[in-house]
Structure 1
């Protein structure tokens, strides 16, 4: 079964652009990216779009479908109203390069600001041992494919460009939480307080846990409840709880 659909695709570059309408054939079982490829093949070969695996694992084809951040390769046409136009626009939070392609270098810059895993002293890499329940706490976060949809939907930077220098966004606050929960991370011994850094250096306080990042994650990572809220609790404990503060001083003195 096939039908004709109207696609309104944003065409332009950093200087500006507009929505361009196209009539295109849609076949049963197709996803939005299939239709975009058909547009390139039949009507607009110069349409710029990123894609790679077409299997929901590379995170390349992020865009906004009818105003919602999605992976085009994971958005089935059968989930969209067939009698309404499908509007494709680039991710709004990042600068447009051309058409549906955006400059996501902001995210790589934020990734470089986060100190990496600090190996435990005196333990060789092959000798790391962890309980499965400790592994499970942060293993979920390793599923991230860096599509940056959570970054795109986060209103802290989506609606406030001025926050970008001081706010890492949910993807990288989740990375800090992952490291802070790692049972073998020896960052504290190296003078790195991850939860304090999340608050002071990466803007954790800007997050008001609206859960929009969790809602758009194609890997269904529970970013808000499992990463951001626990990280906020740790940051608050270490800053305001007198017993936690005292314990940190005792350990440091030893």
Structure 2
């Protein structure tokens, strides 16, 4: 009896066309590469293969290759993504994959950008203020009290949200006055924290978000949420509630009257 034989499966490897930005602070250009792609690989694998076979001096920042360090942020076909979490299988085999550095930040070399802007903004956010009379290590919170802000702790600081936010992406002049979605989210997280005693120490987090960190620049297009690799609902769960609290404080007639009375007494 003849046993039927299955037809051979097509090769899982293929040759892809890549365009990678090469250059430094003085300028650069897109360079074309033809590179082998194997089943299951991600864009970072291909960048490493280009380094190994065609461009050993290609600069790229990466660390964990597991989507948890946020180091390998770049733009793939114009969309901010993590190189290590973008599978080649999402692109048609005949599509040219273009990899460029984050557009909102200055280029150092090739795919590496200077993201020090973000660390400067982080230092501007007042830290958690411990509650008075409670010793370190003695803080107690119920799960229900931290559920709203716990989501924000998943942030890996890849700065993709900062890069895609058009307030800084398209308007360099806004950077001095605007902290960006990642750090406005940090303000919101602290403002929601059940033990943060910032108010007792004279810090109004909602007001400072509006007056000092540029919350008013955000027009809630949700582009930051769309690129977050951790799925954090930055706009809906952090920025919009923070805007609501800032507006309540600024326009609440009772607050306005209290401020007026307080000034008269002084």
TM class, shorter-length? over 0.9
SS in 1 for 2:23: strand
Aligned with 1:14 (options 9, 15, 25)? 25
Match of 1:141 among 152, 167, 187: 152
Q: Distance in 2 between matches of 1:67 and 1:139?
A: 31
- Quote the residue 1:102 is aligned against: 113
Query: Over residues 126-175 of structure 1, what are the superposed CA-to-partner deviations in whole Å (9 max), with x where a residue is unaligned?
Result: 22111211111101000000000000000000000000000000000000
Q: Which residue of the other structure, out of 46, 60, 63, is the alignment partner of 1:52?
A: 63
- Distance in 2 (alpha carbons) for counterparts of 1:179 and 1:226: 13
Quote the residue 2:3 is aligned against.
none
Q: Distance in 1 between matches of 2:148 and 2:257?
A: 26
Out of 199, 204, 215, the position equivalent to 2:215 is 204
Cα distance, 1:52 vs structure 2: 0.1
Aligned counterpart in structure 1 of residue 78 of structure 2, from 67, 71, 80: 67
> Which blocks of at least 5 consecutive residues in structure 1 are unaligned?
none
- Deviations along 1:84-107, one digit per CA (max 9) or x if unpaired, are 100000000000000000000000
Q: 1:43 to 1:54 in 2, by over 3 A?
A: same
Who is 2:184 aligned against? 173
Structure 2: how far apart are the matches of 1:249 and 1:176?
Answer: 27
1:64-102 deviation digits (Å, cap 9, x = unpaired): 000000000000000012101000000000000000000
With over 3 angstroms needed to count, the CA separation of the structure-2 counterparts of 1:80 and 1:247, relative to structure 1, is: farther
Q: Count the aligned residue pairs.
A: 250
TM-score (norm 2): 0.92
Higher-Rg structure is: 2
CA distance in 2, matches of 1:247, 1:74: 52
C-alpha distance in 2 between matches for 1:249 and 1:59: 47
- Worse-matched range after superposition: 123-132 or 92-101: 123-132
